[in-house]
Amino acid sequence: MEKSFNYYLNIAISSIPESLKKPFFSGNGRYCPVCGNRLRRFLSYGLPGMPARPDALCPICGSLERHRLAWSVLERKTDLFDGAAKKMLHVAPEPIMERKFRQIAGLEYLSADIADPRAMMQMDITAISLPDGTFDLFYCSHVLEHIPEDRQAMRELLRVLKPGGWGVVMVPIGADRTVEDPSIVSSEERRRVFGQEDHVRIYGPDVRQRLEEAGFRVESITAGGIAGAREQQWLGIAENEVLFLCTRPIAQ
């Protein structure tokens, strides 16, 4: 996948030692669940050309709202940290999350990407060259909006999960219903219609039905689903982010 501005920003922030950053940003106003640091606040942030969001970027680890929501959900809603042996697939690995996943006890970690040389395996997620039921869990965030055959990718993610296994899917939700048009191929048109030049659609909340049609049992989780208003602010998790916790049913 084309690497985004966020990806390089994250590498840049994480390359500065924590000991240099902490004196500037430590405080009691916010808490980043990804890096475990107490902060005065998160920084305002937006992609170049987009409006900046307040309270978005962790100055220590580079996490954004979606990373902190995901980490909070992983901690509160899954068995990821129970120490039992598990195999995990991380699709299009974000450095910040990869570093954290690699520290989890019992986790056998595999990262995969169609092009990124940092990933451990080159993989087209519409045709995964691994056997059925390989993984206990996967993490696939902000990937499907880049993939023309997203339904096929969803079926493949289901296939490589063990029955009873689960995965995290996140995509940007920017419309009331999903809009896609394969005739839109130019960067300018894609930016105008889908919101980013390398996106092939703009999703609505109905992405949940696509995941269900692929065979997953799906739980949609927002910030409000795991924390009250004060705690959402404390964690810097925005109400408009949605995480789809997708389970492969045991009987299938």
Work out which of 13, 35, 157, 246 binds Zn ion, going by CB under 5 A: 35
32 binds Zn ion (CB under 5 A): yes
Shortest distance, position 144 Cβ to Zn ion, whole Å: 25
**Number of C-alpha atoms within 13 angstroms, CB side, residue 1?**
28
Contact pattern from residue 155 through residue 174 relative to Zn ion, giving x for each residue in contact according to CB under 5 A and a dash for the rest: --------------------
Give the separation between CA 223 and CA 237, rounded to whole angstroms: 6
Name the segment binding Zn ion (CB under 5 A); options: 12-20, 52-60, 226-234, 243-251.
52-60
Alpha carbons 203 and 169: distance in angstroms, whole number: 13
Which range in 51-59, 102-110, 214-222, 237-245 contacts Zn ion by CB under 5 A? Answer: 51-59
User: Taking CB under 5 A as the rule, does residue 69 contact Zn ion?
Assistant: no
Asked if 44 contacts 56 with a C-beta cutoff of 8 angstroms, the reply is yes
The reply to whether 97 sits near Zn ion by the rule CB under 5 A is no
Taking CB under 5 A as the rule, does residue 61 contact Zn ion?
yes
Which residue, 61 or 91, is less far from Zn ion as judged by CB?
Answer: 61
* 64-67, Cβ contacts within 8 angstroms, sequence gap of 24 or more: 64/6, 65/236, 65/237, 65/238, 65/241, 66/141, 66/142, 66/170, 66/241, 66/243, 67/34, 67/94, 67/96, 67/97
Check binding of 63 to Zn ion (CB under 5 A): yes
- Which residue in the set 6, 13, 34, 237 belongs to the binding site for Zn ion (CB under 5 A)? 34
13 binds Zn ion, rule: CB under 5 A: no
Minimum CB separation from Zn ion for residue 34, in Å?
5
- Establish if 10 lies at the interface with Zn ion (CB under 5 A): no
Tokens of 84: 């039992």
Q: Which residues contact 17 (CB under 8 A, 6 or more apart)?
A: none
Contacts with Zn ion by CB under 5 A lie at: 32, 34-35, 58, 60-61, 63
